[in-house]
Amino acid sequence: MAGEILPAMTKPVISTVVLNWNRSHLLEQTLQSYIETVSCPHELWIVDNYSTDNSRKVIEKFVNAHPKTKVIFLPENRGGEAYNEAIPHLSGNLVYLCENDQIHMPGWCEKTLHAFQTYRNLGQLSLHCPVPTDDEAWVSKPVKIRFVNGCLLYLLQDNVTTSSIIRRSLFQHGLRIINMPSNNKDIKLPDDGRISGAVKAMGLWVGYCDRYYVRNIGHESKEIESDPDYYQTNYKAKTDVGPAELKKRIELQKQLRNVQRKTMLFPREQAIGELSSQPVGGLDPRYWSMFDGRTLEVESLEFIHSLVRMLKPASALETGGWLGYTATAISLAITANGFGKLTSIEDDINAYAHLAERIKRLSLSNVQAKNDKSERFAAGEQYDFVLFNSVYEDPEEEFFHIIPFLNEGATLVFTGYRREMHQIKSLPKILERFGLLSGQFYDTPRGLYVGKYKPVEPPESRRTIFCMSSGRSGTAYLTSLLKGIPGLIALHEPEPKYQWQTLPLQQNPAHAEAFVRNHKQPWIKQLPDATYFEASHYMHKGFFEAWLNTGLVPDIIVMQRELRAIALSWYGLNVDFFANPQFVKQHMLHPEDTRELFLPLPDWKSYNNYQLCYWYALEQQKRAEHYAKQISKKGAKVFTTSLEGLSSGKDIQPLLVWLGVKTDKRGMEIIHNRSKQRINDKNQFKNAKRLESINEMDFDKLEAEVNKHHKSK
């Protein structure tokens, strides 16, 4: 249905239908601005809804100057449904429904084609922006940002106005314009919610542009107040926005138009109002400014620039470089300081390309961009200043990954990248309570925290601790409980990861020791002088022996869980030993695995996938028992716990005592609060059909068949 946008040059690319009902002074501007800015093959239709002003003269004058224009004069006002008169006759792949109050700006046509060519799932595009202009009496809309191939759009769950561009294929599949119910028979407004709803029902997106490519004059306060009777009548007919709400919006708009959107950091770029939805100190977010919904507010960019000017860091790091605005602000400050450098990390390849291009274009020689993930990059240097600005879903893990690269007293800035201030508060508060950070929050729409990093004293007994489990048994959960405890670095499957080495290990058993010596050990050695805890269910699949061969005898925590629960969890994740042995060998163990199996299963093909998941849980349990005995004989310590024991709180205090770490009342409160949270449930990966089939299984019988095979092992 998405189709191609660019047909043969003899055929229109965009078919535009301008719908008119009175307001001839706006219609004239709409038509003239359209014809002056349209830059691709097009056809133009005008449908007049039985206007009673001088619209007919305006239309006839325009047609005389542009005779290819097609016109339909209706004998009555049909409201938005009048669009349907022209729709069957259109030939462009894109249909532009244009009301008579849209003043077109240069570039709208190019933006339209770029958007529909880039996003094949885009069904409807508004030439407006989700944030009103400072002249509009309107409101911001909740959206999600998308950036591909240099094209920034905002996708939304709600609807855009009728004035929009829609793929003609949708009309060919039956889409038509319907009027909204109204308490005034003379006012017939198109049901724009129904239009966008139909687009989404066909599996396509509805989006806004990154800025206004038309002036939406019908929503501007000046126009509304110039013809109060017309607009009061219209707004009385609307079910969601009445005259009282319109008055409030006009009053706010009159205040917002005094806001200065320019910044000396980016003098050639015009900012728009901030997109966040939460008021700050009673102020509408649009009192702040932004370049896009992902980049920090303009005011925060200026603040960070001044902060770097004042602190003069020798080495700075930014996670989440995005489109390069923050990198530019920091770079300009470093340049003014006369020394220093910045590393900007961005994992999104589209954004990284834009970031790198900006650095090159502006000759920001003191900035190095890296296309990498902030939770796994290797810096190789220490930082005095870090801006945490990425969209990584686990900011705690990102922070603890970067700890080894922080100088004592480093300035750390946390931002609310998801546009809600409260979302950045939890991590800094936790770090403050554990004594790792001291600083201050600043009230902005997205939120800003500035603090100083303070390493804590390590425990008297510095240890290396590994966790053993069958997977799906709570290792991520355990790690979440331990993060931030003074003197303890707790990581869950950190880089460099074992999981990427399991397949090479199949061909060469010596690969495990080479990986441990050349990658894992150097990484751990550069960490702060504290107890190191790492949880990974890959550890005892060929790597534990490698650690022993290097001379390290670690302490271990064994995470237990009821075997059926583990097997069901893996089974629900659609693990298939028959159809996908490669996945099983990489992330689990397979009966044909070349690594030594404690419980070999030569007749494995006679079992079903649930039984094989159960066998795997048994195998991992056997391995954990074996290694626990082995290291106990060497004098290492073993602590055995379970998901249930930790989530109930029963095992938390004994575990902390075993770890040799101390935490105060506030720290214990944090840990107990964390223990109530679900971690790593992977619901998005579960197979619904398999979950339904569980009710039909005789687990006792299936498990007995596996247990019988190994009862003597």
CATH number assigned to the domain comprising residue 657: 3.40.50
With contact defined as beta carbons under 8 Å apart, do 466 and 544 qualify? yes
Q: Would 290 be classed as within a structural domain?
A: no
Q: Which two tokens stand for residue 239?
A: 């079910």
The more confidently predicted of residues 168 and 187 is 168
CATH number at residue 400: 3.40.50.150
Domain total in the chain? 3
List CB contacts of 6: < 8 A, sequence separation 6 or more.
13, 113, 117
How far apart CA 124 and CA 107 sit, in angstroms, is 18
- pLDDT tens digits, 242-251: 677 788 888 8
Q: How long is the chain?
A: 713
Q: Is the separation of the CB atoms in 311 and 229 below 8 Å? A: no
The pTM of the whole model exceeds 0.85? no
Boundary-marking domain end, from 389, 423, 453: 453
Q: What is the pLDDT of residues 568-585, one digit of tens each?
A: 999 988 899 999 999 999
Give the percent of the chain with pLDDT over 70: 92
Distance CA(36)–CA(505), nearest Å, equals 66
pLDDT > 90 in the chain, percent: 63
What is d(CA 124, CA 7) in angstroms, rounded to the nearest whole number? 19
Mean of pLDDT values over 126-138 = 94
181 and 38 within one domain? yes
* Axis-axis angle for helices 426-433, 395-402 (nearest 10): 50
Is 285 inside a domain boundary? no
> How confident is residue 459, by pLDDT bands cut at 50, 70 and 90?
low
Is 572 found in the same domain as 697? yes
**Averaged pLDDT of the chain:** 89
Statement to judge: residues 62 and 43 lie in one domain: yes
pLDDT band at 682 (very low <50, low <70, confident <90, very high): low
Residue 683: the pLDDT is 59
Asked if residue 459 belongs to a domain, the reply is no
What CA–CA distance (Å, rounded) separates 465 from 397?
A: 18
Parent domain of 377: 298-453
The better pLDDT of the pair 457, 101 is held by 101
Per-residue pLDDT tens for 335-394?
999 999 999 999 999 999 999 999 999 999 999 999 998 877 877 789 999 999 988 777
pLDDT for residue 684 is more than 90: no
> How far is residue 251's CA from residue 680's CA, in Å, rounded to a whole number?
47
- What's the CATH number where 45 sits? 3.90.550.10
pLDDT tens, 537-550?
A: 998 888 999 999 99
Q: What is the pLDDT of residue 62?
A: 97
Higher per-residue pLDDT: 530 or 413: 413
Same domain, 445 and 487: no
Clarify whether residues 246 and 315 are in a common domain: no
The CA-based angle 124-125-128, given to 5 degrees, is: 145
pLDDT higher than 80, residue 9: no
Q: Is residue 442 part of a domain?
A: yes
Q: Are residues 414 and 518 in the same domain?
A: no
